[in-house]
Amino acid sequence: MPETTAISARTAPAQEGSETASTSSSAERSLRLLSFIADAGRALSLAELAQALGLPKATAHRLCNQLLELGYIVRDLDERHFAVGPALRKLAFDSLSHSTVRGLRHGVLTDLVGSVGETCNFTTLDGVEVMYLDRVEAPWPWRLTLDVGVHVPLHCTASGKLFLASMSRERRVRVLGQLTLKSLTPNTLTDAAALRADCERISQQGYAVDNEEFIPGLVAVAVPVRDRGGEVRAAMAVHAPVARMSLAQMLEHLPALNDAALRMTELL
């Protein structure tokens, strides 16, 4: 018995070390996979992930299944491809929310509200919805309150239509094929052809409007925030009740919106 105990005591650390090494290796591979998908800026296939990371397909498949269950990645419209999931976006958002960069971004929004006089938002594309990253409320008694992290539709909001217009035609067709173009007001575009035509206009003019398409009595204008490579990564938007500011009056503030978007580019 003493001899057996001694053997067990000698082998236990080796087993523990092996388990730790295995866990560490798996965690490292998962982080590398997430980093690669996030950096790619598009959905990637299992074959692309396996080749880029130097992993057997079976290993890449196992990692993807684990990350899918946790919500860190999601299947794209083409289910054979994987994209950034809500859990990873929340992790990134929570990290940014406590950083100096978030304070600087908030300052840009605050300056914009001071110039425009209405509530301004900083949004991004999250899957097939718009997510609010930050907002500064105008000091008016009547205003629409949408908390940071809230999601709104693509097809009837200024930011959403801007993101649709920034997509390639092929991707836009795929996304529109998956969306339910629900009518929220009499002005909501519920016909895919009409929405595609609106996206073409947005691409040409460089901004998008919400003419009471999301909420009755509310208008909005959004402009793109591009990264240094020219890709649309976010949007700056202003909204107001028509009783206080007409859409035509709001469009007069496009120079201020575009200036704010340029400042945001440096903070992406």
Q: Is the pLDDT of residue 252 over 70?
A: yes
CATH number corresponding to 2-85:
1.10.10.10
pLDDT for the residue numbered 97: 59
23-37, 136-150, 188-202, 217-231: which range is least confident on average? 136-150
pLDDT for the residue numbered 99: 66
pLDDT for the residue numbered 130: 93
CB neighbours (10 Å) of residue 50?
19
pLDDT for the residue numbered 18: 42
For residue 2, name the pLDDT band (cuts at 50, 70, 90): very low
For residue 31, name the pLDDT band (cuts at 50, 70, 90): very high
Q: Find out whether 108 and 263 touch, Cβ atoms under 8 Å.
A: yes
What would the pLDDT profile of 73-125 be if each residue is shown by its tens digit?
998 877 889 988 888 887 876 776 566 778 888 999 999 999 999 999 999 99
Q: Which CATH architecture has domain 99-265?
A: 2-Layer Sandwich (3.30)
CA atoms within 13 A on the CB side of 119: 21
pLDDT for the residue numbered 88: 87
Domains 2-85 and 99-265 share a fold: no
Q: Is the pLDDT of residue 186 over 50?
A: yes
Q: Is the pLDDT of residue 22 over 50?
A: no
Q: Is the pLDDT of residue 141 over 80?
A: no
Distances (CA, A) of 151 to 16, 130, 154, 196, 221: 44, 5, 9, 22, 17
pLDDT for the residue numbered 6: 36
- The average confidence (pLDDT) of the chain is 86
Residue with tokens 């290796």: 25
Model pTM above 0.75: no
Domain locations along the chain: 2-85, 99-265
22-36, 59-73, 127-141, 166-180: which range is least confident on average? 22-36
CB neighbours (10 Å) of residue 60?
23
Quick one: average pLDDT of 186-190?
Answer: 97
141-155, 163-177, 201-215: which range is least confident on average? 141-155
Q: Find out whether 201 and 189 touch, Cβ atoms under 8 Å.
A: no
pLDDT for the residue numbered 87: 86
What would the pLDDT profile of 233-243 be if each residue is shown by its tens digit?
999 999 999 99
Report the distance separating Cα 10 and Cα 13, nearest Å.
7
Give me the percent of the chain exceeding a pLDDT of 70.
Answer: 86
pLDDT for the residue numbered 126: 87
